[in-house]
């Protein structure tokens, strides 16, 4: 595959990623992300265009605000870089097919959720309502086999999550349930279950590590959204292989 194409998707992803940061930060608190100037979250000094170059500004300014010298959260450059890498990986794995659009939309949704769930512990309804019809449209263009796997995935995941929320009383929220409903359309029934399984395992592992290293306290709530992000991306790109590998282990 063309190196130029892959690198342009990488750059495109980094730029999109910086917009996704803004959406993730402003949508949950109902600020406009189209209008309104960017400002430092600490000193609210308005930021100039050269403070806002994705990744580059962060590196040049040594992770600090130019005006108040407070640290800039590493989450923003991480989201920019991840979006760039994932966009590049998508075009390499899928090629210039219509399914590429589904992949880019899925990555965009998940990156926004990463920012908003880590910052506010919110998965905004408006965000899910925006992406839901887009994914339905993409699955009408590129149906799964069988086509109704999308519907089964969305319903199955929401019922499963609803049961878990009822039984566990906490840990997972209504936002996570609705998110899985949207993801189910893209992944279909089997893969949505795999994504859920992976999210839970990864969540448990990281949770144990965070507790053991005392990064978080025993009673502290941790958002589940980031694990769903990781589990979903792994499943979307490697689901087939992961499922085969898992079944081979069983046999
Ligand atoms: Zn500042």
- Give the distance (Å) from ligand 1 centre to CA of residue 196: 39
What Å distances lie between residue 226 and 146, 199, 209, 210, 220, CA to CA? 29, 9, 15, 14, 16
- Give the distance (Å) from ligand 1 centre to CA of residue 12: 27
The predicted structure's pLDDT at residue 55: 86
- Of 95, 109, 71, which Cα lies nearest the Cα of 186? 109
- Give the distance (Å) from ligand 1 centre to CA of residue 73: 12
Per the listing, tokens 């580059």 go with 56
Q: What is the pTM of this model?
A: 0.92
Low-confidence residues in the chain, pLDDT < 70:
1, 170-171
The predicted structure's pLDDT at residue 248: 80
The predicted structure's pLDDT at residue 142: 95
- Give the distance (Å) from ligand 1 centre to CA of residue 55: 17
Structure-token pair, residue 152: 């089964």
The predicted structure's pLDDT at residue 106: 98
The predicted structure's pLDDT at residue 223: 86
- Give the distance (Å) from ligand 1 centre to CA of residue 36: 17
- Give the distance (Å) from ligand 1 centre to CA of residue 90: 35
């Amino acid at each position: 595959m063309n190196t130029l194409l892959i690198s342009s998707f990488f750059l495109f992803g980094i730029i999109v990623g910086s917009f996704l940061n803004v959406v993730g930060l402003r949508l949950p608190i109902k600020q406009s992300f189209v209008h309104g100037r960017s400002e430092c979250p600490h000193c609210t000094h308005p930021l100039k265009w050269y403070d806002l170059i994705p990744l580059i500004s962060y590196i040049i300014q040594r992770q600090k605000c130019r005006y108040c010298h407070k640290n800039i959260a590493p989450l923003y450059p991480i989201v920019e870089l991840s979006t760039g890498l994932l966009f590049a990986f998508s075009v390499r794995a899928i090629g210039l097919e219509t399914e590429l659009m589904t992949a880019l939309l899925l990555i965009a949704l998940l990156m926004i959720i990463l920012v908003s769930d880590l910052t506010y512990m919110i998965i905004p309804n408006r965000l899910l309502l925006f992406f839901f019809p887009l994914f339905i449209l993409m699955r009408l263009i590129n149906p799964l086999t069988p086509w109704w796997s999308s519907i089964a995935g969305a319903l199955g995941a929401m019922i499963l999550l609803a049961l878990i929320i009822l039984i566990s009383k906490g840990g997972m929220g209504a936002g996570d349930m609705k998110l899985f409903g949207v993801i189910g359309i893209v992944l279909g029934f089997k893969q949505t279950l795999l994504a859920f399984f992976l999210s839970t395992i990864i969540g448990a592992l990281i949770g144990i590590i965070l507790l053991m290293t005392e990064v978080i306290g025993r009673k502290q709530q941790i958002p589940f959204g980031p694990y769903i992000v990781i589990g979903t991306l792994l499943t979307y790109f490697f689901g087939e292989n992961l499922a085969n590998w898992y079944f081979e282990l069983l046999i």
